[in-house]
Amino acid sequence: MLFQAVTVLAVAGFALGHVKDDKTGWETKYTATGTAEVAAAAATAKTSSPTSKVKGKAFDRIAIIYFENENYEKAFGDPNFSWFRSKGVTLSNYFGVTHPSEPNYMAAIAGDYFGMQNDAFNRNPRNVSTVIDLLEHRGISWGLYQEDQPYSGFEGFAWVNHKNGANDYVRKHNPAVLHDSVATSEQRLSQIKNLSLVDTESSMFHRDLKENKLPQWMFITPNMTSDGHDTSVTVAGEWARKFVEPLLNDKHFMENTLVLITWDENETYARQNHILGILLGDAVPKHLVGTTDDSFYNHYSELATVQANWGLDTLGRWDVGANVFKFVAKKTGDKLRKWKSHKLDHYFWNVSYAGPFNTGGGNQQYAAPNLDLEHSFSGRKIFGPIRKEWRESEAPSYYKDTIEVDDGLNPPKGYEPVKNHKSLIMSASKRFLSDFTLGFSDGLTVPFALTAGLSSLGKTDTVITGGLAELCAGSISMGIGGYLAARDQCTPCQNELDVEQRHDEHERISESDSMVEQSEKTQILVEELVRQHLEPLRLPSSTVTTLLNGLSSEPADLQRMVSRLQTYKDPSTTQTTPQSPLISGLSISLGYAIGGIIPLLPYFFTSTVGLGLRWSFCLCLIVLFGFGAGKSWILAKDAKFRTCFVEGLQMLILGAVAAGAAVACVAWVGNR
């Protein structure tokens, strides 16, 4: 698939006009990730720290800090983040907008993720505005601080710690560099700077802090270890405490400052994308410290809050209808809106709708800002250059003046995500077989054991009556159990998303061909693909680094390895489809009923209970063996004759033992 953003960029032809120093080539000038190339670029890359003092209605500075991939409950319970909650306002009803990471970062400054469902080398064209355009228009300084970014304006896919081999900086967590409206400007690139807690002398954040040159709007991203992505919420909490706590008492930092600590997305994709948010700083009214705000917020609320505070225009996208943080809204006059509770339950924000960055297909057209939102609920106007740029556009627009933001399960009209129907049918069949198998195995063994035990009483009617009663009760009980279990584990489109993510991991290099030179692409492949596939081996970091260095010195071997890794199919990417709890329960119940009738059948056609027992015993042993072997053959990915035979034998022995135990038990009770 052609990289859609490049196509749109070519169509757009020019920027909005407020980027004054853009030059052709800046958007790919700093993409090289080789050690020598990085060192050379770092020696000449521009760094700047513009400042301003524009008063806001509720705060004069905001620092947004993103951590990675954590469920609300775990983040809430972490001791360090609990400490932060006690010092500020807990946002208990905060949501990410989709999965995986990169689209959430893009949405946080652009007001949409444009269908993105991957972490690829994506680039938004220059005619897509961000909050940076709004800030600059009002003379408000801004800056991004990325932990362990090798130099200011670095645009490479990733930067690895050369001492321990750990992932450090990654492009997907840098929202500004995802946009060509930023990356085409040397000046704007110079405001995306380094942060380090290990070497504070070389940390541009700490230098700006010391020299009182911090901007009024900041976006701060810890590295892949510090943000919890490659580690845990415990590590993230410790880093946050070490970094943020001193700032809360720093006179250069606390100048009517608001700090937002939040996460890009939750960890469990099957659930609603519920994340924790915490507001800190001396801008938070003292009477609100230690309290909870349960208003509905998402990443678009970060945009709306900044716009409301400084009286900025809007982007004409999902930022228009988003709720402003409550304490800020009270000072800006904004009104908060609520979801209809029954409707909120149907939104998960765990699947992306279609769009230009969606590699799964569907509508690839950029949605235009909704210029009809000039008279919005908030009363804020759409940014003038945006109106000028898009007023003649015939592109559709799905943005609405509402907090009820669409997701992939409830997509905008015309932007429905494409599903692989053949794969979904196959996965649904497999899920049915799995549920049916569960019911059938219990239905075959339990009634078999019961009828065998009742046969010792010597009456056929008793066996039939007791067997049918157990069959009825058992199938209902199993069905209800299956229904409840499936309801708790309902995972809408989760595995489909996992497959798409893995697929995108292998395709992201081809998507960046038009932007990155061949040598740089090879470097990305080495750092990403090789590390990804070596990760399960848990090799020492030094070993991985040595391997990468060796591959770099042997181009032929490197190309062969890259080729193999690109075509590698991870066996864990089996696609499944969400199964209705009702269907799951009925499948288990049906399996139990069919399995349970088998041991009863002979008793309907034999003259004596003894003859019925012998036929039932033989029939059930045959079916048990066939069922065990067949289940292994159908459900196993790489079934062999020996494996199937052993599975069948195990099932036969299990049934025989259960039946023997039942006969012995009834005989023992009868003799007492």
Active site residues: 230
Cα separation, 467 vs 596, whole angstroms: 8
Q: Cα–chain-centroid distance for residue 428? A: 23
Q: Residue 195 is inside which H or E element, if any?
A: strand 192-195
First-to-final CA distance of the chain: 77
Cα separation, 154 vs 193, whole angstroms: 8
Q: Tell me the residue type at 281.
A: G
Structure tokens at 509: 């290099």
Query: Which residues, in sequence order, are bridge partners of residue 195?
Result: 147
Distances from the Cα of 169 to the Cαs of 41, 350, 368, 523, 566, in angstroms? 16, 25, 32, 15, 23
Q: Whose structure tokens read 């990417």? A: 573
Picking from 332, 258, 303, the residue whose alpha carbon sits closest to that of residue 88 is 258
Picking from 564, 568, 565, 570, the residue whose alpha carbon sits closest to that of residue 637 is 570
Q: What is the Cα gyration radius of the chain? A: 30
Q: Whose structure tokens read 């399996």? A: 591
Query: Which residues, in sequence order, are bridge partners of residue 91?
Result: 277, 293
The per-type count for the chain, helices as H runs and strands as E runs, is 26, 11
Q: Whose structure tokens read 């007023």? A: 391
> What residues contact 40, with CB distance under 8 A and at least 6 apart?
none
Angle between helices 555-567 and 518-525 (to 10 degrees): 60
Picking from 522, 526, 418, 422, the residue whose alpha carbon sits closest to that of residue 117 is 418
> What residues contact 572, with CB distance under 8 A and at least 6 apart?
none
Cα separation, 175 vs 189, whole angstroms: 12
- Cα-Cα-Cα-Cα dihedral sign, residues 532, 533, 535, 536: positive
Structure tokens at 370: 């909704």
Proportion of the chain in helix, strand, coil states, percent, rounded to 5:
50, 10, 40
Picking from 276, 255, 248, 252, the residue whose alpha carbon sits closest to that of residue 264 is 276
What DSSP string describes 140-163?
A: --EEEEEET-SSTT--SSEEE-TT
Cα separation, 150 vs 404, whole angstroms: 39
Q: With contact defined as beta carbons under 8 Å apart, do 491 and 409 qualify? A: no
Query: What DSSP state is assigned to residue 98?
Result: S
Q: With contact defined as beta carbons under 8 Å apart, do 193 and 144 qualify? A: yes
- Cα-Cα-Cα-Cα dihedral sign, residues 207, 210, 216, 221: positive
Cα separation, 511 vs 507, whole angstroms: 6
Picking from 154, 149, 148, the residue whose alpha carbon sits closest to that of residue 41 is 154
Structure tokens at 22: 């853009």
Cα separation, 49 vs 47, whole angstroms: 7
Cα separation, 225 vs 72, whole angstroms: 19
